[in-house]
Structure 1
Amino acid sequence: MLVGLQNVTFEFGARIIVQDATWHIQPNERIGLIGYNGTGKSTLLKVLVGQYTPSAGTVERGRETTIGYLHQDLLSFDTNESILQVAMSAFEKVLQLEKEIEVLGKELEQTGDEKTLLEYTDKLHELELLGGYNIQHKTEEVLQGLGFANADLNRPYKEFSGGWRMRVLLAKMILAQPDLLLLDEPTNHLDLPSIEWLEKYLQHYQGAVVIVSHDKYFLNRMVTKIVELYQRQLHFYNGNYEFYEKEKAVRIEMQQKAYENQQDYIKQNERLVERFRAKASKAAMAQSIIKKLDKLERIEDVAIERPDLRINFRVDKVPGRMIVELDHLSKAFGDNAILKNAAAGIERGDKIALIGANGKGKSTLLRIIADAESFTGNRKWGHNVEESFYAQHQLEALNLNNTILDEMRECGSQMTDLELRALLGCFLFSGDDADKKIKILSGGEKARVALAKTIISRANFLMLDEPTNHLDMHSVDLLISALNRYEGTLILVSHDRHFIAKTANKIWEIVDGQIKEFKGPYDEWVAWNERMKKNNAGKKEEATRPEVQQRQPQEKAITIPAPPPAVNGPVNKELKKEIQRHQKLFQQAEEALNKNKERMLTLEKDLADPELYSNKDRFLKTEQEYKNAVTENHQLEKKYEELFTKLMELEEKAL
């Protein structure tokens, strides 16, 4: 055993975090520590490392056990040293040996003493055994794996932002190779390539790892055991997160049945007590039943779990087929060219995940689409597009003097205060939290308010930059469910692969300044990417063979013909009339479509009314009307698209 809790109770003020908990962490275990936000996962890690002392019970640690603990508080550390020096400080013993060898070397030069030579040789041998000659190479390899460029390695640590500093400290921690690594949200500051590198590194790590994370994909690949902190107890599941979800569902079902059976038993005995209490001959039996009920260990009702609130987007207007077109797009920061004459288009119904390494320009491209970043080239909005942009750095848009509830009221969503409070509960603002002023909120809390505002807007096009940061797993699942029901179009940037896999139907990647589109979900993109890498590796190997090099054809330059010059002349009168006629038909189709959508919403409300089902004829009539409205909606959308396409063709002819 490396570290263990033995009958530990820990109280934070008047609140009990964990009660009578026993947990032993064994060598080489891969554990995911999970629980809803605010249950005390990070606090429990601090109890394990000895930062907090338990109210009762003991924390046991092996005498030789070394622990590495990655957490947000580490960001208070600052230094003028380079990031390479900070990460290399993990090799404390090696660095000390190098200093001693340097001192002995100078002494040897001056004296030539045999005893000094022997000590010098022993120290060199010890340095070799500790792998001291490779520490710089190892450190560079780890830092590069976590996303640092070679040119950055000698830059001062203090020049980097919080997210990059956390990567340096993570590098230092894994290079130190402690017996136990405690990682609190390690993927929060990593891009996808860095997360994939960390996974591979930790899979071969010679030590135990405990991970607190809201990234299901990461947990599924990394852990073989789940410890859940729930209702002040630790619950253990021997499997990954997917296994935990299935097993917990079974456990909840069994607990619910046991609870219901116990409640039936209690009620039955209480009725006996009421019946016999007044009878002298049965009074002793009644007292015996009361004592038996008092001693009964009560089973908790599982219904106290967090409710599954439904986040419903409302889309007022149906946009045209194209949402936005990007053409000849270029953007550079100094010598760093992010986009070079790039082109792409977003169509109605697209749900795009913009992925890739940090520094490739994902957030920059998102800001260009949202008109929040300067660029050269063309960006053309489609017809009837109403957009909403969520970006964490745009939190200054919040009114600091408003309460959270006031800020939500000003969105014009027409939701009642009760509905707004229920929605805020989903974003971890419960009870009186909704009445807090924006100015006293943390950065993470402000980000969640901004995301909640985005969700209740009536936009038909959403742009989301890292929307899952600061959300627990339950809230991420609610957001996934909401985005899957969303009838509009969206483009998002996220490092959460589970979130991407569940929401996106297209993948965009910025490669060599161009926007590469993959038409399919994330899992298919991963499989395709792996096939391409294998194919390219095979071609490279074949191309190095002499007989293949001799027969390779020379590349020919491809000449692209220039487009014909535009013809400027008077517009055909008949064509103009045709355009006007189609514009009128298009407007009528749009009005009919919106009117039918309103009718569908009214019928949906009627069908949600329990009183409707007490009148069979009325229910059947309403149900048939709703089916007819759905059918009509499909026909109207088809007509709307046909008219829109025709109108675009006519307008192009007129140019």
Structure 2
Amino acid sequence: MIAINNLTFEIGARALYDEANWHIKPGEKIGLIGANGTGKTTLLKMIVGEYKPTSGTISMAKDLTMGYLNQDLLSYSSDKTILHVAMEAFERQNQLHDEIEVLLKKLETDYTEDLLHKLSDKQHEFEVLDGYSIEYKAHEILAGLGFSDAETQRKLSTFSGGWRMRVMLAKILLQAPDILLLDEPTNHLDLPSIQWLEDYLKAFDGAVIIVSHDRWFLDKVINRTVESRKGKLTVYAGNYSFYLEEKAQREEIQRGEFKNQQSKIKQEERLIERFRAKASKAKMAQSRIKALDKLERVDDVDDDNPSVNFSFRFSKQSGRHVVTLENITKKYPAIDILDHTEAIIEKGDKIALIGANGKGKSTLLRIVASADKDFTGKFETGHNVTQTFFAQHQLESLHLESQILQELQAFAPKHNETELRSILGSFLFTGDDVFKKIKVLSGGEKSRVALAKALTADANFLILDEPTNHLDIASVNILIQALKQFEGTLIVVSHDRYFLDNVANKIWFIEDQKIKIYPGTYAEYDEWQAKRKLELKGAPAPKVEKKEEKKPEPVKEQKPQSENKFQQLKKLNQDLSKMEEQMSELERAVKQFEAQLADEKLYSDANKSKEVTRNYEAKKLELGAIQLRWEALAEQIMELEA
């Protein structure tokens, strides 16, 4: 379908990709992952032809159709209705519709056989292209993405950037291309729309490439994971969770290889040092020196997963009841949000406030944060409650002339520079980045600074509105680690279900203008909702059989077969030579398996990769055992020669 061969893309002196390879097959659902700055969006732009590679090729069929959703579409606007904009996807059907209308008009005054034949041909083609149902299809997809029937008749220009992005996504889906390239498609969707998109993409016949920081979404949709790292593209034959397991296994193998090789090198160096003084063994020592010089060194595993090394500090504990809501009613002119509802936030609660856009999540969050007081009912903040509120509008409170580090130092003087740099590093500000002025940062970068500030506040109650926006997967994990060790209380709105599942112990949702509470994690709530709506029982988790680890055979002590010293040495040296031949053969076998494991193509077949891994570990174990016996035998020879 698409073949990427020896792709190199350079920005100045830096190679973003260095002879990378990747073959995309029809029907694959692919997650393209990697840290910020590794070139994921750049790669998509090269595939669609917006960027040209420095060298290498991207080849595809001439008639291949592509749909590309990217963040640049946020700025697109039009005075046409969103239904009209979405239906622009049906280019040929729209053209035929207009031509049919013209022919029908002509027939009113010029009723000829020629016009009738043309009309019949146009109508037939229109019917073959399913033209009579295109408006229904457009309504169906727009509804799935959260638009009401009334909203489909509103002008696109009257919607915010996020809602306009939904319309562009609808248009791309309606085009039904051979391959969809989606760059952060869930950024502007609420949970119901994300769940609808998951189902749509799973049923989509074409190929899909998704760049996303939403792990839950990736796990639901993709069947292949491609990691962009250090200029290369590595394919894994499964979803994101499979990738994590497979990568951990590969890194464990590499870590073991490195450790074993380092141990072997030390052993060799020790034995060489002891043998080289012996004239009779000088040749063997020199041979092993040359072998050691030629040895291809294994690199240790890079740590791509930084951990949080700062702790939250707040000077006083809150009382048991943090926030009490009684008989709360909140209305807008056109909609009722809350109607005589109540709830209590207790000390230690980690609450996820979820639901569709327009149901009142942000309004309720502002009420809890005392930022919205235009409601009726009783609102009470508990004893010793100190709060910090993070929302996108908090960006306005940043001091534009301050450097990033200065902004945090002024806000959180109790934290030292090392701690603040650690927090900023977690949010992708490393090295000299911390000295950039706020005014030169992008909107996403300012958002990350504001979030870093929120985490340094002397607050025992955190109120967070979409804190994972503009964060990559690694930074989301950092935020999860930070909030897990936070001993206070928090309430968060987010559409990142993996994030919610890892930080929340209670779920709030608004239903029938009431606050409803589910006492559990997001995964438990999701399962409960599925049973509640569909009356289906979840399948039992498969049992995982534990495999017994194969233990290496104990090293047998080599006993002399004769009391004659000369005969003993002769026999031991023969045994040593045989062992060295066996070691060479095993080393060749291990290298062959290592070459297979280094080939990214292997990981496109999960069963084959596991088989090669098992065989590799068995040979490595056998090699380790014979190396131990060789060392013991060499020691005996040295003692007899002394």
Q: Provide TM-score, normalisation by structure 1.
A: 0.77
C-alpha contact 2:387 2:461 (8 A) present in aligned 1: yes
Determine whether 1:173 maps to 2:172.
Answer: yes
1:477 aligns to what?
A: 477
TM-aligned CA distance change 1:290 to 1:309, over 3 Å: farther
TM-aligned CA distance change 1:284 to 1:186, over 3 Å: farther
2:289 and 2:75 map into 1 onto residues whose CA distance is 58
SS in structure 1 at match of 2:165 = helix
1:15 aligns to what?
A: 14
1:21-60 Cα deviation digits (max 9, x unpaired): 1111111101111011111111111111121111121101
1:119 aligns to what?
A: 118
2:129 aligns to what?
A: 130
- Report matched runs for 1:502-651 at 5 Å: 502-534=502-534
- Report matched runs for 1:107-506 at 5 Å: 107-263=106-262, 298-377=297-376, 378-506=378-506
1:536-566 Cα deviation digits (max 9, x unpaired): 9xxxxxxxxxxxxxxxxxxxxxxxxxxxxxx
C-alpha contact 1:67 1:179 (8 A) present in aligned 2: yes
SS in structure 2 at match of 1:150 = coil
C-alpha contact 2:427 2:448 (8 A) present in aligned 1: yes
1:139-178 Cα deviation digits (max 9, x unpaired): 0110111011111111111111111011000000000000
1:440 and 1:292 map into 2 onto residues whose CA distance is 55
1:207-242 Cα deviation digits (max 9, x unpaired): 000111111110111011100111221111111111
Identity fraction in percent: 55
Superposition deviation, residue 106 in structure 1: 2.3
Between 512-521 and 488-497, report the one with greater CA deviation: 512-521
Between 484-493 and 261-270, report the one with greater CA deviation: 261-270
2:489 and 2:369 map into 1 onto residues whose CA distance is 14
Between 9-18 and 458-467, report the one with greater CA deviation: 9-18
Between 223-232 and 527-536, report the one with greater CA deviation: 527-536
1:563 aligns to what?
A: none
1:460-484 Cα deviation digits (max 9, x unpaired): 1110101111111111112112212
1:555 aligns to what?
A: none
2:61 and 2:270 map into 1 onto residues whose CA distance is 55
2:269 and 2:44 map into 1 onto residues whose CA distance is 44
Superposition deviation, residue 425 in structure 1: 0.5
1:352 and 1:423 map into 2 onto residues whose CA distance is 23
Superposition deviation, residue 530 in structure 1: 2.4
C-alpha contact 1:328 1:376 (8 A) present in aligned 2: no
1:180 and 1:142 map into 2 onto residues whose CA distance is 18
- Report matched runs for 1:73-84 at 5 Å: 73-84=72-83
C-alpha contact 1:4 1:25 (8 A) present in aligned 2: yes
SS in structure 1 at match of 2:100 = helix
C-alpha contact 1:4 1:48 (8 A) present in aligned 2: no
Superposition deviation, residue 305 in structure 1: 2.6
Residue identity matched to 1:361: G
2:484 and 2:36 map into 1 onto residues whose CA distance is 24
Residue identity matched to 1:392: Q
SS in structure 2 at match of 1:39 = coil
Aligned-pair Cα RMSD in Å = 2.7
Superposition deviation, residue 108 in structure 1: 2.7
Superposition deviation, residue 89 in structure 1: 0.3
1:446 and 1:480 map into 2 onto residues whose CA distance is 20
In the alignment of these two chains, the number of paired residues is 535
Q: Provide TM-score, normalisation by structure 2.
A: 0.79
1:460 and 1:151 map into 2 onto residues whose CA distance is 43
Superposition deviation, residue 423 in structure 1: 1.5
C-alpha contact 2:156 2:164 (8 A) present in aligned 1: yes
TM-aligned CA distance change 1:9 to 1:297, over 3 Å: farther
Residue identity matched to 2:410: E
SS in structure 2 at match of 1:33 = strand
Superposition deviation, residue 274 in structure 1: 11
C-alpha contact 1:181 1:210 (8 A) present in aligned 2: yes
1:360-407 Cα deviation digits (max 9, x unpaired): 111111111111123223210111111111111121111111111111
SS in structure 2 at match of 1:94 = helix
Superposition deviation, residue 285 in structure 1: 11
2:282 and 2:230 map into 1 onto residues whose CA distance is 38
C-alpha contact 1:81 1:157 (8 A) present in aligned 2: yes
Superposition deviation, residue 130 in structure 1: 0.6
1:107 and 1:49 map into 2 onto residues whose CA distance is 42
2:64 aligns to what?
A: 65
1:369 and 1:76 map into 2 onto residues whose CA distance is 33
Structure 1 regions of 5+ residues with no counterpart?
537-655
SS in structure 2 at match of 1:110 = coil
Between 403-412 and 251-260, report the one with greater CA deviation: 251-260
2:552 aligns to what?
A: none
1:130 and 1:57 map into 2 onto residues whose CA distance is 38
Superposition deviation, residue 243 in structure 1: 0.9
1:490 and 1:188 map into 2 onto residues whose CA distance is 23
SS in structure 2 at match of 1:186 = coil
1:312-368 Cα deviation digits (max 9, x unpaired): 222321211100111222222322221222211111111111101011111111111
SS in structure 2 at match of 1:244 = helix
1:313 and 1:212 map into 2 onto residues whose CA distance is 32
